[in-house]
Amino acid sequence: SALSTGEMTLDDALLAISADLLDAYQGQLDAAVVDAVQAEKSGYPISQAEATSRAKGYWQIVAPAFETQHGADARLAVDQTFASLVAAAVAGDTATFDASIAEAQEILGQFRAAPMTDEERSERAHQLIQFLGLIPVEYKRGVNGTTVTIPLEIEEAKAFSEAAGAAFADIRPALNQIDPDATKTIALGLQSLDQQLADARARTTVVESSVIADAVNALEDQLRTVYPTEWNQSSSTADFDVVATLLDQVLAATAAGQYQQAESARLQAYAVFETGPEKHLLGFAPRLAQETEALFWAGNGSTRGLQVAIADHAPVAEMQAILAELDKVLAEGKQRLGADRPGNASIIFNSATIVFREGLEGILILASLLASMVGANRIYKKPLVVGAIGAFVATVILFVLARTVLLSLGQYGEKLEAVVSLIAIGVLLIVMNWFFHKVYWTKWIAHHHQRRRMLIRGAAGQFLGLAILGFTSVFREGAETVLFLQAMVLDAGTWTVVQGVLLGLAGVAVVGALVFFMQAKLPHKKMLIITGFMIAFVLVTMVGTTVHVLQVVGWMRITPIEHVILPYWSGVWLGLYATWEGVIAQVLAVVFVIGSYFAAEWSHERSQRAKIEASMATHSSGALSPDS
């Protein structure tokens, strides 16, 4: 299709087809060599001879590419190696066979028939690190000390080891040119790790999980040291391939009836997606980010999510359908982040949109509260402003230090957002109740002296509470914005993103100014009513968003509302998602707001009645006094 639409020239198409064929043939060559080694170890001479002959045949197909890269003399030497390998296998000459197979493996480990582009090498390097990182996670779940408890987890660890080995084989020629000694050390380390996993799978020797973890950590350190700078940067397109591999593990575990292992693989796949591709998609294609997240968790209304399906032990056929839908969305996301990379103008617009969207919630809270604090309540403005300024400064510092700080905090991701959101909601609930009692229904001047005495007694606590509200209202959105913007910084540079940030901040400032202007022009009573509605709206939205985050991090169960499909904007602007937990929480938030209103009204009326009764009692006692 790319050729017919003119997106690819005929020469490029021929090169792509040739590369795919060479990759396929080399894969068969590598598999034949492995089969020959296994046949020799198992004592099957006929299978050994067949595998070596097959390896020699595939070698003849890829040999011209080897000759182009290394010269005719080098090719003749390898031809002789494979000829000796076949002869030794047929004759049962173990010594010659072992020497020839070792030489063949060494040569093939440093050769790739289809030359890779710089981008492809970078992606494979990133995948190698990702696959290695998954090995100790799976292995730890599969063993207890030196005993295998869950064989499927060991199988998955071995599969990731093999995937890491394949990725290393692809980039080994490039690494050899950088540091051949370090490359050889890494190759030996990978072989040793793979053998330990093979031994654990066969139950011959099972090492403790800490041994595997230490080996992987050492390999990762060695790789990052020898990698070029660009290879150590994140690669969202490479992450998509890792996610696909993990989703294959989900299906395999489901087919085996191991739903707990399927859930573990799902969480790992989502963790890779969340820390890499999702941040890019939120900047460039937010709809795809939401659709992917929905399919990982509760579903999209027409298709159940993976988390819900696994929890219900859904049949394999349904799991296949869900994974097919998820694969489709992931493929579209990969295409958007790969071939269809937005330009600088688009990135400026996207970053401005993110800043405006995230800043609007905070500015509505602050503008509403600040505008309502007039007269004697003007003293409450200071802690709010102090907290907001502190949060803005903290956000700027976080943006500057993001490349180091966020890398260390990235593992917490949405968990950090969930904690901050809970704090913000708690403080906002308190302030909402305080707002009705102290702002709506207290006369501004009549009780000035009483309010002054109250402030003297509780000034420190109120200052801290309002400062926390100001801080969390801004920093909750600021920290999330910084996380989103890092993907764009990697793609377009800091200055391009800063331009979008400034544009978004200008939009937020305009909205804040309009709120202040509107409230300044409105009569006092109407201003208070509008302010109350705005705060209530922000509270309900924040509750819905926080419930969604809690569900994403696994801290709250998910009960999807069947056959309900909500648009993308409902989650972004209203915090409304198609789960019963989120909807019920938002309804309870509305009930709290209404309840606070009537409680304040009832308290005010009771206070007025008490004053009237006290006044009447005073007059009555005065009228009955003998002195009168």
Task: Write out the DSSP string of 523-573.
Answer: -HHHHHHHHHHHHHHHHHHHHHHHHHHHHHTTSS---B-TT----HHHHHH
**Cβ count within 10 A of residue 32:** 20
3-state class (DSSP) for residue 281? helix
Q: Can you spell out the DSSP letters for 574-609?
A: H---SBHHHHHHHHHHHHHHHHHHHHHHHHHHHHHH
pLDDT: is 617 or 148 the higher one?
148
Terminal Cα-to-Cα distance of the chain (whole angstroms): 107
Predicted local confidence at residue 99, as pLDDT = 92
Predicted local confidence at residue 299, as pLDDT = 81
Residue 76 tokens read as: 């003749």
pLDDT: is 492 or 196 the higher one?
196
CB–CB of 497/349 below 8 Å? no
> Quick check: 433 pLDDT over 80?
no
Q: How far is residue 546's CA from residue 538's CA, in Å, rounded to a whole number?
A: 12
136 alpha-carbon distance from chain centroid: 20
* Cα–Cα separations (whole angstroms), residue 233 to 227, 239, 289, 336: 10, 12, 21, 19
Predicted local confidence at residue 265, as pLDDT = 83
pLDDT: is 23 or 473 the higher one?
23
Torsion of CA 397, 364, 544, 554, to 10 degrees: 10
Q: How far is residue 127's CA from residue 121's CA, in Å, rounded to a whole number?
A: 10
> Quick check: 221 pLDDT over 70?
yes
Domain-wise residue ranges, the chain: 1-115, 344-611
Predicted local confidence at residue 511, as pLDDT = 78
pLDDT (mean) for 252-272: 84
pLDDT (mean) for 188-196: 94
3-state class (DSSP) for residue 493? coil
The band of 442, judged by pLDDT with boundaries at 50, 70 and 90, is: very low
pLDDT: is 569 or 260 the higher one?
260
pLDDT (mean) for 558-586: 78
Residue 7 tokens read as: 């997106």
**Cβ count within 10 A of residue 449:** 8
The model's pLDDT over 24-69, given as tens digits with 9 standing for 90+, comes to 898 899 889 989 998 998 899 999 999 999 999 999 999 998 888 7
Residue 392 tokens read as: 């803005």
Predicted local confidence at residue 365, as pLDDT = 65
The model's pLDDT over 67-122, given as tens digits with 9 standing for 90+, comes to 887 788 989 999 999 999 999 999 999 999 999 998 988 888 778 787 777 777 88
Predicted local confidence at residue 535, as pLDDT = 65
> Quick check: 384 pLDDT over 70?
yes
The model's pLDDT over 106-164, given as tens digits with 9 standing for 90+, comes to 888 778 787 777 777 888 888 898 889 889 988 998 899 999 998 888 988 898 898 88
DSSP state at residue 627: T
- The residues near 101 (Cβ < 8 Å, ≥ 6 apart) are 33, 36, 37, 40, 85
pLDDT: is 265 or 342 the higher one?
265
CB–CB of 8/2 below 8 Å? yes
- The residues near 172 (Cβ < 8 Å, ≥ 6 apart) are 109, 110, 183, 187
Predicted local confidence at residue 521, as pLDDT = 65
> Quick check: 358 pLDDT over 60?
yes
- The residues near 304 (Cβ < 8 Å, ≥ 6 apart) are 314, 318, 322, 560
Predicted local confidence at residue 509, as pLDDT = 84
- The residues near 510 (Cβ < 8 Å, ≥ 6 apart) are none
Q: What angle do CA 388, 392, 393 make, to 5 degrees?
A: 120
Q: What angle do CA 331, 336, 338 make, to 5 degrees?
A: 90
> Quick check: 449 pLDDT over 50?
no
Beta strand ranges found along 183-225 (DSSP E): none
Q: How far is residue 415's CA from residue 480's CA, in Å, rounded to a whole number?
A: 11
Nearest to 519 by CA among 510, 528, 511, 508: 528
Tracing tokens 């705005």 back to the chain, one arrives at: 534
The band of 375, judged by pLDDT with boundaries at 50, 70 and 90, is: low
Task: Specify the amino acid at residue 148.
Answer: V
> Quick check: 450 pLDDT over 60?
no
pTM: 0.52
Q: With 0-12 CB in 10 A as exposed, 13-18 as middle and 19+ as buried, what is 65?
A: buried
Predicted local confidence at residue 517, as pLDDT = 72
